[in-house]
Chain A
Amino acid sequence: MMRIQIQYFAVLAERRGLTEEWLTVETHDLGALYNTLAMQHGFPLPHTSIRPAVNDAFRAWDYPLQEGDRVVFVPPVSGG
């Protein structure tokens, strides 16, 4: 078990009703974490359209989560 921080942006923040929270999780796997949150909160996006970021850098889905990490699941961007 470890504590991680999650920040939500755009459509995910809207669905979650929060911009950030601390969670106690059992998994070190970003994909498993996203799928759990997506089911809990009804996120409208499959993990294949998300880019994960940890501690303010984009990461591969196999990046192992560590205690205290700050995680963002980045939805498809639409700037410009």
Chain B
Amino acid sequence: MATFRLLNDSLPVDPPFEISTAAGAVVSFDGRVRDHNEGRCVRGLAYTAYPALALSEGEEIIAEAIAKFELTTAACCHRLGDLALGDVAVRVWAAAAHRGEAFAGCRYIIDAVKARVPIWKKETYVDGPSEWVACTHS
């Protein structure tokens, strides 16, 4: 089963995997559309992706986290398309025997997804035209 998914609709609330009875902890993380970025008021945003490479890179990140933090299971879903303020853009789940590994694994996954997976955000602002985030200042 795919553990990294790109979805055009609302993300599932429950983890897309069965939680093993060996898991004493499940940590989840929601990344939401914020109303401001770098001092500007954000009206909404749109995500696009390079799907083939985003899926393979996302799967690799999940596999790394499972190995590194001894997770029993982990998954991540990321939205594509137009999102409004407050919408959940990305959701991560990490299950482990103990909470330390579950928190660390969840943190690793979201950090790596933001740094490595080819997904791009175009923000629309209250006071001007939309812009690709990070594409011009990294």
| CB-contact partner of B118 in A14, A49, A77, under 8 A | A77
The reply to whether the CB of B117 lies closer than 8 angstroms to some CB of chain A is yes
Assess the B132–A11 pair: CB atoms within 8 A. Answer: yes
Chain A residues numbered 1-53 whose CB sits less than 8 Å from any CB in chain B: 7, 9-11, 14, 44-45, 49, 53
Cβ–Cβ < 8 Å partners of B50 in chain A: 7, 9, 53, 72, 74
The reply to whether the CB of B89 lies closer than 8 angstroms to some CB of chain A is yes
Q: How far is the CA of A9 from the CA of B120 in the complex (A)?
A: 8
Contact string against A for B residues 27-60, beta-carbon threshold 8 Å, 1 for contact and 0 otherwise: 0000100000000000000011110111011000
The count of residues in chain B whose C-beta lies closer than 8 Å to any C-beta of chain A is 30
> How many Å from the CB of A37 to the closest CB on chain B?
16
The reply to whether the CB of B121 lies closer than 8 angstroms to some CB of chain A is yes
The reply to whether the CB of B133 lies closer than 8 angstroms to some CB of chain A is yes
| CB-contact partner of A79 in B52, B117, B135, under 8 A | B117
For the residues of B in contact with A, the DSSP-based class is mixed
Assess the A10–B48 pair: CB atoms within 8 A. Answer: yes
Q: How far is the CA of A60 from the CA of B119 in the complex (A)?
A: 20
Cβ–Cβ < 8 Å partners of B31 in chain A: 80
| CB-contact partner of A56 in B48, B52, B116, B136, under 8 A | B52
Q: Can you report 24 residue pairs joining A to B where beta carbons are below 8 Å apart?
A: A9-B50, A9-B118, A9-B120, A10-B120, A11-B120, A11-B135, A14-B132, A44-B136, A56-B52, A56-B53, A58-B57, A74-B118, A77-B119, A78-B114, A78-B120, A78-B121, A78-B132, A79-B78, A79-B113, A79-B120, A79-B121, A80-B90, A80-B110, A80-B119
